[in-house]
């Protein structure tokens, strides 16, 4: 990783650096942070001659070599000061709340507009809505391109940015063309490396934020952070990690709630962590406890399924979505816990 003395390299300096690393079979990937740009050396960066030639350039501050499978997302990375902002919230400074429907029902757009308004009034910052859905049952409703227009209309009416899941390149392109500012990678695709690469390439150079769910099975923490690295190494480091419960499930819950991994993640990566209690526990009645526990564990935010009339929703909403009143209560209490942690300076 190359750190220039100035906030970024000039085009001539970038060309010189690119030329040097190319002689050693490497290339340069600029990573544009909020304050400065750093330059990842992609390839085998261990050649001492290459390093000393780079260190010899008078506009280079230093070369950092992090021995980590996820050197950009690593807590020791120079990106550790990078700040991600969405919905008026800078992650880490204020609790981020993403809330809304599991699934946008194209037959009932009013539920979408009303829920978006209710999320805003409850204090949510980002409105979520599934346009395309990964369904276990191949005969269940799979989503609809038309729902994208409804989601964007909800965004226009409320001013809330939106989050939706994309599962392939066509959906990715449609979502970006429509102006979706937050893309979700679902648990089933969390280890789909070609999709992660496509998303990374598509969001490079844009302010888009990616919400990366943890994969369904209880994989190692490093596997989760490495998946984020797949996206970030194309140049956009706005990746948020989202644990959402793992399999096998805890008897009675939909999955095995995993909000307790927040401190572990925080030890290894600077990436913000937003917990999804809804898919973790899978039942509206348990969502509040899981959400509050997540904040007590140090989560930077929550992603909650909510609906103005859960019983009239589709997808997960009838069983999992909380009402706007419950959402408001969760947000109020979660903010108190977040402030308690911050004032007590819990690590
Ligand atoms: C969802 O957010 O509605 C969803 C399908 O989530 P996950 O990928 O975590 O199952
Ligand atoms: Mn869902």
Give per-residue pLDDT as tens, 149-161.
999 999 999 999 9
- Closest-approaching ligand to the CA atom of 130: 1
Which tokens is 118 given?
Answer: 């209710």
Tell me, in angstroms, the distance from the centre of ligand 2 to residue 156's CA.
23
Which tokens is 324 given?
Answer: 């706007």
Of 227, 219, 159, the closest CA to residue 191 belongs to: 227
Class of residue 344 by CB neighbours under 10 A (exposed 0-12, middle 13-18, buried 19+): exposed
Residue nearest to atom 8 of ligand 1 (CA): 186
Q: pLDDT digits over 305-328, tens only? A: 999 999 999 999 999 999 999 999
Assign residue 298 a region: left if phi > 0, alpha if psi is -120 to 50, beta otherwise?
Answer: left
- 286 Cα distance to chain centroid: 23
The angle, 0 to 180 degrees and rounded to 10, between the axes of the packed helices 193-203 and 221-232 is 40
Show the ligand 1 pocket: residues with CB < 6 angstroms. Answer: 102, 130, 134, 186-188, 213, 244, 276, 279, 316
- 32 Cα distance to chain centroid: 17
Distance between CA 192 and CA 230 in Å, rounded?
Answer: 10
Tell me, in angstroms, the distance from the centre of ligand 1 to residue 23's CA.
44
Distance between CA 195 and CA 122 in Å, rounded?
Answer: 34
Question: Which residues have beta carbons under 5 A from ligand 2 (an ion)?
Answer: 102, 316
CB 225 within 8 A of CB 271: yes
Kindly report the pTM of this predicted structure.
0.95
Q: In what order do the strands lie in the sheet with 2-4?
A: 27-32, 37-42, 2-4, 60-63
- 277 Cα distance to chain centroid: 15
Distance between CA 124 and CA 263 in Å, rounded?
Answer: 24
Which tokens is 167 given?
Answer: 């599962």
How do the pLDDT tens digits run along the chain, 347 residues long? Answer: 899 999 999 999 999 999 999 999 999 999 988 778 999 998 888 899 999 999 999 999 999 888 888 999 999 998 999 999 999 999 999 999 999 999 999 999 999 999 999 999 999 999 999 999 999 999 999 999 999 999 999 999 999 999 999 999 999 999 999 999 999 999 999 999 999 999 999 999 999 999 999 999 988 999 999 999 999 999 999 999 999 999 999 999 999 999 999 999 999 999 999 999 999 999 999 999 999 999 999 999 999 999 999 999 999 999 999 999 999 999 999 999 999 999 887 66
Tell me, in angstroms, the distance from the centre of ligand 2 to residue 103's CA.
7
Ligand 1: nearest atom to the Cα of 316: 3
Mutate which of 276, 305, 317 to test ligand 1's pocket (most atoms within 8 Å of Cβ)? 276
% helix, strand, coil for the chain, step of 5: 40, 20, 40
Ligand 1: nearest atom to the Cα of 128: 2
Residue nearest to atom 3 of ligand 1 (CA): 102
Query: Helix or strand or coil: residue 133?
Result: coil
- At 347 the pLDDT is 61
Q: Which residues, including other chains, have CB under 8 Å from residue 60's CB and lie 6 or more apart?
A: 2, 3, 4, 5, 17, 54
CA distances from 204 to 30, 32, 37, 234, 236 (A): 10, 9, 13, 6, 5
- 154 Cα distance to chain centroid: 21
């Amino acid at each position: 990783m190359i750190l220039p003395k100035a906030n970024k390299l000039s085009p001539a300096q970038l060309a010189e650096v690119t030329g040097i690393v190319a002689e050693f079979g490497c290339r340069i990937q600029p990573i544009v942070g909020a304050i400065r740009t750093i330059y990842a050396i992609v390839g085998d960066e261990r050649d001492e001659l290459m390093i000393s030639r780079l260190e010899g350039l008078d506009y280079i501050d230093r070369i950092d070599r992090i021995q980590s499978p996820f050197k950009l997302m690593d807590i020791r990375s120079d990106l550790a000061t990078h700040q991600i902002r969405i919905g008026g919230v800078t992650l880490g400074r204020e609790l981020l709340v993403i809330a809304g429907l599991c699934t946008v029902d194209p037959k009932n757009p009013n539920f979408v507009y009303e829920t978006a308004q209710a999320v805003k009034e409850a204090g949510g910052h980002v409105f979520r809505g599934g346009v395309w859905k990964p369904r276990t049952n191949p005969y269940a409703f799979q989503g609809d391109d038309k729902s994208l227009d409804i989601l964007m209309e909800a965004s226009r009416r409320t001013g809330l940015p939106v989050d939706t899941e994309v599962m392939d390149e066509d959906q990715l392109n449609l979502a970006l063309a429509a102006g979706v500012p937050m893309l979700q990678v679902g648990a089933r695709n969390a280890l789909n490396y070609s999709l992660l690469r496509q998303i990374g390439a598509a969001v490079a150079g844009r302010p888009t934020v990616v919400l990366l769910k943890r994969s369904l099975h209880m994989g190692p923490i490093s596997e989760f952070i490495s998946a984020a690295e797949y996206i970030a190494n194309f140049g956009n480091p706005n990746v948020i990690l989202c644990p959402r419960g793992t399999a096998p499930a805890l008897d009675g819950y939909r999955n095995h709630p995993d909000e307790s991994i927040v401190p572990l993640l925080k030890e290894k990566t600077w990436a913000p962590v937003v917990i999804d209690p809804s898919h973790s526990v899978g039942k509206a009645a348990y969502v509040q406890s899981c959400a509050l526990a997540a904040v007590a564990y140090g989560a930077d935010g929550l992603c909650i399924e909510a609906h103005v009339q859960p019983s009239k929703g589709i997808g997960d909403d009838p069983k999992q979505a909380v009402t706007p009143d419950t959402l408001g209560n969760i947000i109020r209490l979660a903010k108190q816990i977040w402030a308690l942690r911050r004032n007590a300076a819990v690590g």
